[in-house]
A and B are shown apart, each in its own frame.
Chain A
Amino acid sequence: MRGFFKSLVTVALLATALPTAAQEKTGNKPGFTLTPGTARIVLMRPSIRVGEQSTGGMFEPNADWTLQARDMLGRAIGSVQGQLGNSVVDLVEPVGADASALAEYQALFTTLADSVIVYQFFPGNRLPTKKRKGQFSWTLGPGVASLPGLKGADYALFVTTDDQFGSAGRKAVQLLAALGGVGITSGVHKGFAGLVDIKTGDLVWLNADLQMGGDVRTEEGAQKRVAQLFEGFPGRPVASAAGQ
């Protein structure tokens, strides 16, 4: 039962000896390529939450900030959607039981991306079975194909952002720790964008970082965050990506 301790491990990965450069941020399934103009991608409703990080590191949600971020990030995603090299369409939101199934898959994607970061992107903490050369084997399972609104599509694009701004108490802990020679972060700014093959449920591309830039409550910050989320998006024309 390490569930509770997992969040501490994630924070510790950020806070302790590992330099930022040690963390990988992008993974591709071996052999996966996407030619521009060949695939139909469905953008799942982004999972966005914003709040404060308490002194002890716990998340305290803020509804106003979350609403602002949904609005800003929604606009920023909309502005780049046409420049990703392939057709990227919004999912038609389901209702009832279908909405519940969709929410479960969105939550599973966030858990999957968390796992990729902790157990693959940090080489020092990588699982031995994930160390084999060129390996990137992660999946949501084939049940993804049964989700509503994905008929005729090739890939599902999942996006998660989780922003926890450091409270005054947290910043004080950071200062105290620094005086003791220990590096502790104040605030979490996670962002994940992942492409899932609808036929298999396999994660074919993931861009994920536990410390992304951009204040998602502002227009400019949201644009910066979205540019980071879609950095290296498969099949994206190079000129367009560079223009972001």
Chain B
Amino acid sequence: MIRMMGATVALLVAASPVQAGNSLIAPGAKILVAKSALAVTPASEWNKLGARPGRNSESWTLDGDGLNEITFYGGIPDGRTLFREVDKRNRPLPKVSGTMLITDIPALLESSYRIALNTPLMSIDSVEPARFAGAAGVRFTYSYTRPDSEVRRLGEARAAMIGGLLYMTTYEAPALYYFERDLTAFRQIADSAAL
């Protein structure tokens, strides 16, 4: 019990955004994302959140991650998860495999979300081939609802396996108003992705 309490304290301190600092992403400039060689050129301004979902990822938003969020995954290697474990002992996240097919990527995202958010209300709604970062990849859409909120969220993603590493970008927002509003801006960013 004491150990669990200690872990809770450590987690709260580690999650502090105070040291993180959010920064402005200016439009028109090519920028490297997710501590990787993945580059994008946004046409409009965004905010980069100081807190990262994982080591090789980063998130951008306009109004806060609950209202709109783009996440970049910059070359996740074999044996690593998409984002930080939530409860590794009891509910470990699935890992990336260097030999994954592009059609395995939506299933990886789906199971990662179901476990991390502890919700059965997550589904992949469409999958189709599409180029991403100059490679043959996949485009897919998804939807989910968190257990602590009635807000239904929609998502769209582009991804590819390049040199055994997973490169992906996702966009998600509430189905009401927000998803449609910023979808074009996300697609422009996804189209600009290059290695």
Contact = CB atoms under 8 A, between A and B. Distances in A.
Contacts of B49: 2
A12 B15 contact: yes
Interface in B11-48: 11-13, 15-18, 22-24, 45-47
Q: Interface on chain A toward B: helix, strand, loop, or mixed SS?
A: helix
Interface size class of B (residues with CB under 8 A): 35 or more
Interface string A162-200: 000000010011001100101010000000000000000
B45 A129 contact: yes
Interface residues of A, number: 54
A228 interface: no
Given A18-B18, A112-B67, A127-B61, A201 B9 contact: no
A216 interface: no
Nearest to A49: B148
Interface string B76-94: 0000001110100000000
B5 A12 contact: no
Contacts of B112: 1
Contact of B176 (A1, A56, A105): A105
Given A1-B82, A2-B49, A5-B51, A55 B8 contact: yes
A107 B51 contact: no
Contacts of A17: 16, 18
Nearest to A131: B24
A59 interface: yes
Contacts of A125: 17-18, 22
Interface stretch (A23-31, A137-145, A236-244): A137-145
B5 A173 contact: yes
Nearest to A61: B148
B56 interface: no
Interface in A118-173: 118-119, 124-129, 138-143, 169, 172-173
A79 B175 CA distance: 36
Contacts of A80: none
18 contacts: A1-B71, A1-B82, A8-B12, A12-B16, A12-B17, A13-B17, A57-B8, A106-B150, A108-B174, A111-B174, A115-B67, A127-B47, A129-B47, A140-B177, A172-B5, A173-B9, A180-B9, A182-B13
Given A6-B66, A15-B12, A55-B5, 4 more contacts: A2-B53, A114-B66, A126-B22, A127-B62
